Amino acid sequence: MRFPKFMGVATVLWVIACSSASANSPVSSDDQQAQQLLNNAVDYYRVQGDSALAAFSRQGEFVDGEHYVFVVDTHGTMLASGGASAVLIGRDVSKVLEPELRSAFDQALKSPEGIIGSAKYRWMNVKDGRVEQKQVYYQRVGDRVIAVGDYLPRASADQAKNLLERASSSLKKDPKVTLRSINDLSASFREDDLYVFVVDLKSHRYLAHGYNVRLLGVDFTTIKDPEGKPVGAPILAMVDRVDSGGYDYRWRNPVTGKVEDKHALFRKVGNYLVAVGYYVDPR
C-alpha cells in the first residue's frame, strides 16, 4: 500500500489499528476486490498453515492488481508480504513505531480471531498530486494477522537520488545514529522498494543494511550478483577515483521476488560508502 513518504510500513500497521470502516459505508468494487483477496488468503492459510507464507510473498495468486497480502505475528514480526514490506520479512517491525503508536499496534495484533477489521487512511498520489482515501482490511488467525494492502511500488531514479541525499546528509551529521536507524528500519531511510546500505571504506565491510541484516560485517568485495557479476569490488574501485557514481547489476527484488536489473547510486561520505539502488522497470 502507498502512504506519504514520512510514513513507514510499521506506521501502516498503526493505521490498521486506529479505525474501522462504518458498517453503513458503501462498498466499492475496489473494496470488494480487497475483501475477496483477504478471504482467499485466510482460507488458504487455514488449510496450509505457515506453508502459505511463501505463497503470500510471491507475485502470484495473492497479488490482485495493486492489492497484495502481508502477514505479521502477534509479536510484531513481519512474516510475509507481496508488497513493499517484503524488505521487512523476518524483522520485528514494532521496533520502528514511535512510542505513542505502540499501544495502537498492540491493539491491532490482539484483535479477536475471525473478526475482519478495516481502516481508512489518506495518502498523496504523486501521479496527480491529489490526496486520496484508501482502505485496508485484516483478520487475525491464531497468532497471525493477515492483511490486504494496495499499491505495488517500483521506485523511480529520482526517489533513489533523494533517499541517497538524505542518508548522506544524515551520515555526515551523526554517523552512529544514522547507522543504527538504517539497521532499525527507520522510515527515514526506506521508501517503497528502496533501502540504504553503508560500507566502511577501511574494512570494506557492511556497517548498515536496510533490508538484509545478515550482510552486516560481510566483506563487500566478495559480493556478486546472482549471475556471478562482481558488485562490491567494482564499486569500491570506482570510489577510489570518484566521490559518486552508479553501477548496473542484477539483484533479487524483494517485492516481485524476481532477479531484475538494478542500478546502484553511491556516494563517498568521509570513510563511508553510502548506496541506494533502484530496480529498472522492464516495461
Structure confidence at residue 49 (pLDDT): 95
Q: If DSSP codes are grouped into helix, strand and coil, which group holds residue 52?
A: helix
What confidence tens digit (pLDDT) does each residue in 210-240 have? 888 889 999 999 999 999 999 999 999 999 9
In order, the DSSP letters of 198-225 are EEETTT-BEEEESS-GGGTT-BGGG-B-
Looking at 3.50.50.60, 3.40.710.10, 3.40.47.10, 3.30.450.20, the CATH number of the domain 157-279 comes to 3.30.450.20
- Note the CATH number of domain 9-150: 3.30.450
**pLDDT > 50? residue 62:** yes
Q: Does residue 192 surpass a pLDDT of 90? A: no
What's the rounded Cα separation, in Å, for the pair 182 and 169?
Answer: 13
| pLDDT of 161 above 80 | yes
pTM beyond 0.95: no
Most confident of the following: 64-73, 183-192, 249-258: 64-73
Would you place residue 35 in the very low, low, confident or very high pLDDT band (cuts 50, 70, 90)? confident
Domain spans of the chain?
9-150, 157-279
Q: Do 157-279 and 9-150 have the same topology in CATH?
A: yes
Spatial separation of the C-alpha atoms in residues 1 and 69, rounded to whole Å: 10
